[in-house]
Amino acid sequence: MVKIAVDAMGGDNAPQVIVEGIELARQDFPNVEFILYGKEPEIKKYISDLTNITIVHTEEKINSDDEPVKAVRRKKQASMILAAQAVKNGEADAVLSAGNTGALLAAGLFVVGRINNVERPGLMSTLPVFKGDLDGFDFIDMGANADNKPEHLLTYAVLGTFYAKNVRKVVNPRVGLLNNGTEATKGSELTKTAHELLSESKDINFVGNVEARDLFNGVADVVVTDGFTGNAVLKTMEGTGLAMMSILKDSIKSGGTKSKLGALLLKDSLLQLKEKMDYSNHGGAVLFGLKGPVVKCHGSADAKAVSAAIRQINDMQETAVINELTTFFEK
Amino acid sequence: MVKIAVDAMGGDNAPQVIVEGIELARQDFPNVEFILYGKEPEIKKYISDLTNITIVHTEEKINSDDEPVKAVRRKKQASMILAAQAVKNGEADAVLSAGNTGALLAAGLFVVGRINNVERPGLMSTLPVFKGDLDGFDFIDMGANADNKPEHLLTYAVLGTFYAKNVRKVVNPRVGLLNNGTEATKGSELTKTAHELLSESKDINFVGNVEARDLFNGVADVVVTDGFTGNAVLKTMEGTGLAMMSILKDSIKSGGTKSKLGALLLKDSLLQLKEKMDYSNHGGAVLFGLKGPVVKCHGSADAKAVSAAIRQINDMQETAVINELTTFFEK
């Protein structure tokens, strides 16, 4: 059995979409047990039957605007913290939350705890690739750390390699270093030193520098960067995608009947575009490098995204990726 | 008169589009004189008449794959270097090139030279805003420097403020600091210290941290960041835009007659989208903080983009933005 501790109260539409996501996933994964933390009466409204589900009632929750570290310290009975405690105490294998990202990172670090010798866990998602047969690349660190040392980027490369290999079944994953040019001599002090470390490492398949422009083209299976840059890149992708969709919508609206008919005929293509840009079908963002999977869904995640995150946790447990990482980093 | 030294051989389609750009611009700006550096016979093919145009023949040019600093040192007779020399010698006011970006940065720093007390000039473009009446924001540094100190970001804020005020006629431009969260306490060591410096400065209108997700929404008129992050953000915008357009195209192609008819009806909207995303109508990227305007057009710039860069240089000269900056930094 895989046991997932779920923060049922985190996210814009909690607990409804969280529970609906579980309802979606439980059919495919009868081997997964859920412990839901949150307001029992609210949670129960959306559950069909309680097979494999335990509800632990708590009144407290961490809000999206709470200061993360303070919230983790003070709100000991919050649904998110109880979920993290469950992993620490061995009552569950993994944490799932759509709540305050900063608080979940803090709960991951301070409650679940790091794998030995992993100084800085990184936040990682599988982002889409739009060329060839590749379905995505693992991008780490997307913002767990604002300042990174070159050694952290080597750790990210190892973490990403194990994930791509185990969970996404990529053979000999190609690791790229996000940089401001592809030549080996390019970059900041950080990326130049990281380039040396990555080149020398025998534990990864380093393919050199990659540029942000080419990420969607499948230049690498794992792309490592410092958390500040990773965060900026991810948010730029989101902002650019949203801006383009909104310009197109406005333009269709103001274009009269011809335009609207065109949009109607193109509906499938536009939906396909939206679907391809949406990376939540690969699961949530993993705070990776911890003793158990801690997975963050977007605050506005729908039931499908929550269900994808459950599948992701199940895959991580079944492929024992964290056990393998623990062995690797302890050797 | 405004005198522009033009690297006629830089860019994918030089000298044709460079000269065509000049042909477009000269009608609107009869006060601009052009000195074109490059292969005279090739350049002459595209010129209608030589009013206000001087051609200085040279066989040498810097290629897009030349190592920048070496090329600037060794290719003393290259069209780009001669253009930069013309500004240094007072024969021209500004340099325009669509050639090797790194080489142009090096030529700007080592040949044209920095404004006194500007330690690190920054690469700046006006990028589009899609909300409200704002037409853009000035983004600096987009990659002139791979490592920045907090003081550099304050310099960028001043440079951007003068540009927005003089060239874009923005009243009291709002300056934002690109960061991984909007709260003042967020960020890396660099951005936290920069936040303090920007907050304390009386020379700018600092509005606090801004996130990459919101850049297109007009959160600030000037956005400052270190050159590594700025470069990554710019390339992510380009990569995301291109990826979305290509998914949409593929989807239309594979969608059969219905889809193609839809695309035909939506043609205006799709063109409008492309037009809005194209920021070259604001001009090129300025290496800003030098003794004269050094403006870089995209390697694949068309005549319209070259013409926009000429208008931009004309505006910079007419509003005396560099003189004002020189006075400011020398005080």
Q: What percent of chain A has pLDDT over 70?
A: 100
Residues of A in contact with B262 (CB under 8 A): 261-267, 269
E strand or H helix at A247: helix A227-254
- Would you put residue B170 in left (φ > 0), alpha (ψ -120 to 50) or beta? beta
Report whether A54 contacts A36 (CB < 8 A): yes
CATH architecture designation of domain A1-118+289-330: 3-Layer(aba) Sandwich (3.40)
From the number of C-beta atoms within 10 Å of its C-beta (0-12, 13-18, 19+), residue A49 rates as exposed
- pLDDT tens per residue across span B108-136: 999 999 999 999 999 999 999 988 888 89
Among B236, B244, B246, whose Cβ lies nearest the Cβ of A233?
Answer: B236
Task: Please compute the mean of the pLDDT values over residues A52-74 and round it to a whole number.
Answer: 95
Q: Do domains B1-118+289-330 and B123-279 have the same CATH topology?
A: yes
Go through chain B and tell me how many residues it has.
Answer: 331
Residue B155's Cβ-side half-sphere holds a number of Cα atoms within 13 Å equal to 25
Minimum CA–CA partner of B147 in chain A: A188
CA distance B46 to B61: 19
Residue A276 is predicted with a pLDDT of: 80
Q: How far is A101 from chain B (nearest CA, A)?
A: 12
- Looking at the predicted structure, is the pLDDT value of residue B85 above 90? yes
Determine the 3-state secondary structure of A158 from DSSP. Answer: helix
pLDDT tens digits, residue range B222-262? 999 999 999 999 999 999 999 988 888 888 888 888 888 88
The pLDDT value recorded for residue A307 is 97
What mean pLDDT comes out for the span A238-267?
Answer: 86
Three state DSSP letters for chain B:
CEEEEEECCCCCCCCHHHHHHHHHHHHHCCCEEEEEEECHHHHHCCCCCCCCEEEEECCCCCCCCCCHHHHHHHCCCCHHHHHHHHHHCCCCCEEEECCCHHHHHHHHHHHHCECCCCCCCEEEEEECCCCCCCCCEEEECCCCCCCCCHHHHHHHHHHHHHHHHHCCCCCCCEEEEECCCCCCCCCCHHHHHHHHHHHHCCCCEEEEEECHHHHHHCCCCEEECCHHHHHHHHHHHHHHHHHHHHHHHHHHHHCHHHHHHHHHHCHHHHHHHHHHHCHHHHCCEEEECECCCEEECCCCCCHHHHHHHHHHHHHHHHCCHHHHHHHHHHC
Question: β-strand A222-224 against A205-210: which pairing, if any?
Answer: unpaired
- Sign of the CA dihedral running A221, A225, A227, A228: negative
Residue A208: enclosing H or E segment and its boundaries?
A: strand A205-210
Disruptive mutation site among B101, B185, B236, B259 for chain A (greatest number of A CBs within 10 Å): B236
Q: Check whether the bond before A15 is cis (ω within 30° of 0).
A: yes
Picking from A156, A152, A149, A222, the residue whose alpha carbon sits closest to that of residue A190 is A149
Residues of B in contact with A189 (CB under 8 A): 146-147
In chain A, domain spans: 1-118+289-330, 123-279
Is residue A154 predicted with pLDDT exceeding 90?
A: yes
- The alpha carbon of B211 is separated from its chain's Cα centroid by a whole number of angstroms, namely 21
- Taking CB atoms and an 8 Å limit, are B212 and A239 in contact across chains? yes
Asked if B266's CB is within 8 angstroms of A239's CB, the reply is: no
- For residues A64-69, give the mean pLDDT: 92
Provide the 3-class DSSP secondary structure of residue A38.
Answer: strand
* Distance separating alpha carbons of residues B76 and A284, to the nearest angstrom: 54
pLDDT in tens, B173-208: 999 999 999 999 899 999 999 999 999 999 999 999
Q: Which residues of B touch A227 (CB under 8 A)?
A: 180
Q: Is the pLDDT of residue A86 over 90?
A: yes
Please confirm whether the linkage preceding A293 is cis (ω < 30° from 0): no
- Residue whose token pair is 């001599």: A185
Evaluate the CA torsion angle B297, B300, B305, B307 in order and state its sign: positive
pLDDT band at A254 (very low <50, low <70, confident <90, very high): confident
Question: Do A259 and B244 count as a contact with CB atoms less than 8 A apart?
Answer: no
Give the containing element (helix H, strand E) for A287: strand A285-288
Nearest to B294 by CA among B89, B43, B92, B155: B92
Q: Would you say B224 and B149 are in contact if contact means Cβ atoms under 8 Å apart? A: no
Whether domain A123-279 has CATH 3.40.640.10:
no
Cα–Cα distance between A321 and A166 in angstroms, integer? 6
Q: What is the value of ipTM here, to two decimals?
A: 0.94
Number of CB atoms found within 10 A of residue B29's CB: 21
Of the partner residues B231, B235, B255, the one whose CB lies closest to the CB of residue A269: B255
Angle between helices A267-277 and A227-254 (to 10 degrees): 170
Higher pLDDT pick, B281 / B295: B295
* Contacts A211 to B, Cβ<8 Å: 235
Question: Minimal CA–CA distance to A303: which of A47, A92, A40?
Answer: A47
What's the whole-number average pLDDT of chain B? 95
- At A22, which helix (H) or strand (E)? helix A16-28
Q: Which residues pair with B209 in a beta bridge?
A: B177
Asked whether the beta carbons of residue A273 and residue B252 sit closer than 8 angstroms, the reply is no
Identify the band that residue B266 occupies on the pLDDT scale cut at 50, 70 and 90: confident
Confidence of residue A182 (pLDDT cuts 50, 70, 90): very high
> What confidence tier does A249 reach under pLDDT thresholds 50, 70, 90?
confident
Report DSSP letters for A82-103, one per residue: HHHHHHHTTS-SEEEE-S-HHH
Chain B: closest CA distance from residue A261 (Å): 7
For the segment A280-289, the average pLDDT, to the nearest whole number, is 94
Q: What is the dihedral of CA A113, A118, A120, A126, to 10 degrees?
A: -90
Q: Which residues of A touch B143 (CB under 8 A)?
A: 180
Q: By the 8 A CB rule, do A123 and A156 touch? A: no
